[in-house]
């Protein structure tokens, strides 16, 4: 063997040791399993005695493997090691003791016995925070860095030499649970096993702990956890989260001890509206709000507490403190106690406590079904759905939900909506106008607003909250938490599909109101809005609801499949937080096309509607909440592209961004997404879609479809036929018929059922259309009709027709995005020439051809460079058909079975 292979040889020939595992808990179980995988021999497991007849998880795992197991209640008496216990330990012949988590005091006769000694896992960066409450004190002190240490045991308290350390950032709102779950548990298991590998390879260091920076704080006990209110808000927050969940920071409120849980810092600019709560010693009263209890430090800054627990052990949501019958948790009658059946299902949990989490305790989807059915057997009047379990994952939340259902007190949590109401279109429409973040309608930071304008008469509809960067960060954080920790990520796909389907049905119930809001806010003709804007939106959510449990990977044949029996397969996983930025031409439909696919895959959404058309998106948010979608799954942020859209593009926690809009902005978004965190992007951008009409077409159909191809939705249509190529032998006839039809068009109020053509969406776009036509006239194109703003209140523009348009002209190349028909001639004998002219664009979204000749239709459609080619029809999109373009019309697809964001 040459020297260069020495390290590789070493790494495969490390010594396998005889190890005694001394400890307990799921952490100890995982370390034990990984040590066995590494090939070490576990000669004995020393753990705690069974509690209430239930063995510790470490003991359960060792018992399955037939490993020698010892459950000593104690190792020493009056400071002296128990000889029989030490003798049983020594008889195992252990060469190394591994203490992954151990609550017992292990005598030095055991610690020093193996030839390699003993190593211990400790959840802090020693020498800082020695002692049993290390994680608590990491948070209480507000440390920016946390982590763990594996050290060599000695006769001091966490003072032995350091073998290995790993560190992590401590987030501002981390609790013991979050930092343990995110880092200390998974990385701690890996680190402990890595430490054993280093010992086996003879590479394990012994770094003496420095005295500088060494700290030892006492074990946190209830009597020591009383809150000192004469501190800053940050210090109060750190004290509460550092004691959450054990032992719990407490204070006297209304003459009794109340413990505070679930603290988070509050934006200093956020107004707290609610009922004051006097707290002795606090610098100012707390405020009970719909979000929880707002507390104040001596610096005037605020924090928010989610839950309160009383001396008798009853826990409530802090927001419910003043509610009748809710100042304490509901008490169960003897009859009601019979359906508290978690113990029957979670057999691996020794004792069910209020804070026990159903899924973190190992429950799976089958257990959800069993739980629902067992509750029904014991209390037939308590009709549960699977999602009720996903929405109430802790025992106390689940029990209180069930009891309130039994008692008829299970009315939906009130969704507070500050509506703007209008009597219009023979109905009263109720429009939310605030941001929607984490399941609540809230004002933007600083209370900033803007006016959304009715394009029919130019008047203001209402003031809408204008999102700021801090609002974007809150929405993304809410979406991330809902994805990683909330009910949405844990939910069975079929149950998720039921909620999406319920949302679609609710949209259908409110379709007239949604269509009226769409007409009011965007100028869409009401009948079109009802059929397409809203109708296709409903179809989209129905369609993707059915895909939730059908998002599948594949198995892949590989060379090593035989004889080694290897299997390779792919899984499709949700991405996480998806940002969506949509345009103003189809405000609700564009939301649906992108959001439904995101939700079907299990993602969460932060959506920025176009600033000029936010109202149907906000109404959708209300319906999503009423359909039961969990908080944080959908967040809606009206605001500017430069601020909100840019922050979403830059945000490191956004994993995909879907955008429909201009090519110019699409390029900018793509660059920002790449620079920020290489997030995935799908872009549906501009178009200059060619429509080729041959003389052998069905003239009436070509005329009707050609008109629709241009003037549908007043030309504000991404796939609109941007340029018509009409064969010279029918050109004049076609133009004459088009002009006749244009003159019949009724321009006016979009809520009038006889209106064909409503107002353009907003003033800036109207001005652009006027300028576009002026350029066409200057270039020498023939303006056959239209080309001007209609002289009346509002943003109306005449349907317009240009002929004699040459290929070099601006209007032949640039998208109008309005009711402007651009017509050019071609000779029927020059099919390849007209194809070349049609493809001479950097866009590639849609196209069309009209001819009765099937061979010609196939020939042309195969050679048109566009994502969609319509043959003898136009504008026929369907939820099952993928939609998107290429070249500078973007990439990625909306709709269709492959468009679930995963």
Backbone dihedral region of 313: left (phi > 0), alpha (psi from -120 to 50 degrees) or beta? left
User: What is the predicted pLDDT for the residue at 269?
Assistant: 54
Q: Which domains does the chain have, with CATH numbers?
A: 18-201 (3.40.50.170), 222-320 (3.10.25.10), 336-407 (1.10.1200.10), 419-685 (3.40.605.10), 690-901 (3.40.309.10)
102, 382, 578, 718: which one is catalytic? Answer: 718
For 143-183, write each residue's pLDDT tens digit: 999 999 999 999 988 999 999 999 999 999 888 888 988 89
Residue 830 · residue 692 · CB < 8 Å: no
Among 629, 613, 443, residue whose Cα is nearest residue 621: 629
The H helix count followed by the E strand count for the chain is 29, 37
250 marked among binding-site residues: no
628 marked among binding-site residues: no
Number of Cβ within 10 Å of residue 247's Cβ equals: 17
The angle, 0 to 180 degrees and rounded to 10, between the axes of the packed helices 57-65 and 25-37 is 30
Q: Please give the structure tokens belonging to residue 196.
A: 């054993």
Among 689, 797, 687, 693, residue whose Cα is nearest residue 735: 693
Collapsing DSSP states into helix, strand and coil, what is residue 772? Answer: helix
**d(Cα 355, Cα 845) in Å, to the nearest integer?**
54
User: What is the predicted pLDDT for the residue at 11?
Assistant: 37
**d(Cα 702, Cα 282) in Å, to the nearest integer?**
77
880 marked among binding-site residues: no
For 182-221, write each residue's pLDDT tens digit: 899 999 999 999 999 999 999 999 999 999 999 998 888 8
Residue 634 · residue 436 · CB < 8 Å: yes
Distances (CA, A) of 230 to 13, 171, 833: 60, 24, 83
Count, residues in the chain = 902
Among 863, 868, 834, residue whose Cα is nearest residue 848: 868
Give the pLDDT band of residue 81 (cuts 50, 70, 90): very high
**d(Cα 447, Cα 465) in Å, to the nearest integer?**
7
Q: Please give the structure tokens belonging to residue 638.
A: 């009206």
Among 687, 689, 706, 692, residue whose Cα is nearest residue 833: 692
Give the pLDDT band of residue 336 (cuts 50, 70, 90): low
What are phi and psi for residue 87, nearest 5 degrees?
Answer: -65, -45
Is a pLDDT exceeding 60 seen at residue 19?
Answer: yes
DSSP for 51-67 reads: BTTB--HHHHHHHHHT-
30, 440, 518, 684: which one is catalytic? Answer: 684
Give the pLDDT band of residue 389 (cuts 50, 70, 90): confident
Sign of the CA dihedral running 437, 439, 443, 445: negative
610 marked among binding-site residues: yes
168 catalytic? Reply is: no
Please give the DSSP secondary-structure letter assigned to residue 654: E
Residue 150's DSSP bridge partners are 121, 164
Distances (CA, A) of 494 to 371, 491, 675, 718, 849: 17, 8, 37, 34, 42
718 catalytic? Reply is: yes
122, 237, 433, 542: which one is catalytic? Answer: 122
Q: Please give the structure tokens belonging to residue 292.
A: 């929880």
Percent of the chain whose predicted confidence (pLDDT) is above 90 = 73
Is a pLDDT exceeding 70 seen at residue 306?
Answer: yes
641 marked among binding-site residues: yes
Give the pLDDT band of residue 334 (cuts 50, 70, 90): low
The Cα angle at residue 272 between residues 270 and 277, in degrees rounded to 5: 150
Question: Which residues in 438-458 are b (16+ Cβ under 10 Å) and which e?
Answer: bbbbbbbbeeebbebbbbbee
Distances (CA, A) of 839 to 32, 233, 692, 772, 885: 65, 63, 11, 22, 13
**d(Cα 92, Cα 295) in Å, to the nearest integer?**
56
Please give the DSSP secondary-structure letter assigned to residue 318: G
**d(Cα 399, Cα 138) in Å, to the nearest integer?**
33
For 110-142, write each residue's pLDDT tens digit: 999 999 999 999 999 999 999 988 999 999 999
Give the pLDDT band of residue 857 (cuts 50, 70, 90): very high
Residue 322 · residue 403 · CB < 8 Å: no
Residue identified by tokens 């003791």 is 97
Burial class (CB in 10 A: 0-12, 13-18, 19+), 735: buried
Is a pLDDT exceeding 80 seen at residue 613?
Answer: yes
**d(Cα 734, Cα 740) in Å, to the nearest integer?**
10
Mean pLDDT of 43-66: 89
211 marked among binding-site residues: no
684 catalytic? Reply is: yes
To the nearest 10°, the Cα dihedral for 592, 594, 600, 602?
A: -130
User: Among the listed ranges 164-173, 319-328, 332-341, which one has the minimum average pLDDT value?
Assistant: 319-328
User: Among the listed ranges 237-251, 583-597, 761-775, 789-803, which one has the minimum average pLDDT value?
Assistant: 237-251
105 marked among binding-site residues: yes
Rg (CA), the chain: 34
Is a pLDDT exceeding 60 seen at residue 253?
Answer: yes
The angle, 0 to 180 degrees and rounded to 10, between the axes of the packed helices 615-627 and 493-509 is 130
The angle, 0 to 180 degrees and rounded to 10, between the axes of the packed helices 615-627 and 511-522 is 160
**485 Cβ partners below 8 Å, 6+ apart?**
none
User: What is the predicted pLDDT for the residue at 321?
Assistant: 83
Is a pLDDT exceeding 60 seen at residue 744?
Answer: yes
158 marked among binding-site residues: yes
Number of Cβ within 10 Å of residue 361's Cβ equals: 18
Mean pLDDT of 37-49: 95
User: What is the predicted pLDDT for the residue at 711?
Assistant: 96
768 marked among binding-site residues: yes
Strand order through the sheet with 96-99: 69-70, 41-46, 18-22, 96-99, 118-122, 145-152, 162-169
For 218-231, write each residue's pLDDT tens digit: 888 888 899 999 99
């Amino acid at each position: 063997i040459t020297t260069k292979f020495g390290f590789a040889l070493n790494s495969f020939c490390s010594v396998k040791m005889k190890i005694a595992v001394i400890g307990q808990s799921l952490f100890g179980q995982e370390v034990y399993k990984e040590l066995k995988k590494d090939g070490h021999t576990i000669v004995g497991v020393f753990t705690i005695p069974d509690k209430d007849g239930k063995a510790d998880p470490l003991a359960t795992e060792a018992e399955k493997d037939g490993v020698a197991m010892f459950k000593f209640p104690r190792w020493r008496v009056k400071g002296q090691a128990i000889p029989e216990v030490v003798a049983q330990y020594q008889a195992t012949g252990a060469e190394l003791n591994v203490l992954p988590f151990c609550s017992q005091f292990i005598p030095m006769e055991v610690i020093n016995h193996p030839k390699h000694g003993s190593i211990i896992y400790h959840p802090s960066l020693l020498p800082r925070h020695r002692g049993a409450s290390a994680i608590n004190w990491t948070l209480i002190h507000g440390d920016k860095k946390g982590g763990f240490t594996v050290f060599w045991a000695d006769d001091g308290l966490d003072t032995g030499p350091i073998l290995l350390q790993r560190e992590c950032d401590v987030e501002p709102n981390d609790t013991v649970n979050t930092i343990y779950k995110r880092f200390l548990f998974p990385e701690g298991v890996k680190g402990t096993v890595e430490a054993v590998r280093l010992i086996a390879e003879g590479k394990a260091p012994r770094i003496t702990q420095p005295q500088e920076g060494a700290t030892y704080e006492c074990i946190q006990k209830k009597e020591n956890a009383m809150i000192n209110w004469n501190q800053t808000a940050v210090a109060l927050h750190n004290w509460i989260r550092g004691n959450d969940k054990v032992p719990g920071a407490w204070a006297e409120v209304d003459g009794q001890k109340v413990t505070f849980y679930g603290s988070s810092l509050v934006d200093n600019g956020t107004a707290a509206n609610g009922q004051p709560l006097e707290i002795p010693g606090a610098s100012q009263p707390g405020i009970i709000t719909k979000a929880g209890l707002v507390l104040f430090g001596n610096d005037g800054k605020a924090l928010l507490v989610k839950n309160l627990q009383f001396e008798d052990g009853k826990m409530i949501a802090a927001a419910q403190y003043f509610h009748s019958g809710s100042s304490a948790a509901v008490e169960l009658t003897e009859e009601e106690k019979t359906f508290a059946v978690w113990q029957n299902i979670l057999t691996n949990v020794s004792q069910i406590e209020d804070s026990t989490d159903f899924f973190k305790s190992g429950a799976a989807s089958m257990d959800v079904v069993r739980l629902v059915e067992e509750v029904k057997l014991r209390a037939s009047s308590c009709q549960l759905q699977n999602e009720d379990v996903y929405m109430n994952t802790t025992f106390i939340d689940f029990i209180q939900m069930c009891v309130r259902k039994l008692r008829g007190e299970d009315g939906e949590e009130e969704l507070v909506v500050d509506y703007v109401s209008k009597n219009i279109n023979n109905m009263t429409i109720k429009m939310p106008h605030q941001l929607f973040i984490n399941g609540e309608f809230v004002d933007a930071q600083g209370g900033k607003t803007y006016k959304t304008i009715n394009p029919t008469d130019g008047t203001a509809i209402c003031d809408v909250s204008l999102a700021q960067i801090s609002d974007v960060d809150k929405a993304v954080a809410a979406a991330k938490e809902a994805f990683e920790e909330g009910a949405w990520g844990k939910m069975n796909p079929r149950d998720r599909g039921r909620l999406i389907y319920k949302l679609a049905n609710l949209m259908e119930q409110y379709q007239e109101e949604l269509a009226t809001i769409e007409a009011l806010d965007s100028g869409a003709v009401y009948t079109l809005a009802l059929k397409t804007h809203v109708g296709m939106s409903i179809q989209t959510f129905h369609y993707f609801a059915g895909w939730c449990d059908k998002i599948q990977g594949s198995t892949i044949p590989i060379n090593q499949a035989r004889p080694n029996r290897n299997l390779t397969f792919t899984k499709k996983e949700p991405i996480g937080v998806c940002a969506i930025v949509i345009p103003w031409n189809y405000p609700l439909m564009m939301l649906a096309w992108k959001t439904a696919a995101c939700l079907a895959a299990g993602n969460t959404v932060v959506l920025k509607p176009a600033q000029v058309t936010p109202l149907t998106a906000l109404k959708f948010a209300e319906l999503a909440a009423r359909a039961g979608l969990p908080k944080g799954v959908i967040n809606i942020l009206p605001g500017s592209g430069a601020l909100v859209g840019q922050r979403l593009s830059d945000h490191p926690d956004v994993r995909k961004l879907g955008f429909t809009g201009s090519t110019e902005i699409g390029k900018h978004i793509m660059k920002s997404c790449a620079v920020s965190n290489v997030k995935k992007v799908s872009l549906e951008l501009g178009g200059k879609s060619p429509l080729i009409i041959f003389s052998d077409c069905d003239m009436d159909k070509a005329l009707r479809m050609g008109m629709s191809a241009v003037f549908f939705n007043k030309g504000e249509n991404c796939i609109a036929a941007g340029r018509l190529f009409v064969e010279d032998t029918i050109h004049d006839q076609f133009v004459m018929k088009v002009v006749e039809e244009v003159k019949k068009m009724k321009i006016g109020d979009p809520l009038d059922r006889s209106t064909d053509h409503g107002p353009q969406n907003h003033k800036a776009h109207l001005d652009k259309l006027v300028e576009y036509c002026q350029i066409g006239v200057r270039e020498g194109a023939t303006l056959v009709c239209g080309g001007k703003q209609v002289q009346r209140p509002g943003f109306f523009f005449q349907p317009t027709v240009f002929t004699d348009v040459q290929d070099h002209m601006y209007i032949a190349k640039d998208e109008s995005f309005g009711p402007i028909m651009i017509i050019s001639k071609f000779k029927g004998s020059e099919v390849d020439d007209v194809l070349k002219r049609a493809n001479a664009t950097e866009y590639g979204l849609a196209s069309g051809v009209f001819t009765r000749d099937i061979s010609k239709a196939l020939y042309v459609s195969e050679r048109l460079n566009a994502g969609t080619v319509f043959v003898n029809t136009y504008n026929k999109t369907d939820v099952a058909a993928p939609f998107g373009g290429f070249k500078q019309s973007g990439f990625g697809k909306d709709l269709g079975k492959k468009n679930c964001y995963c």
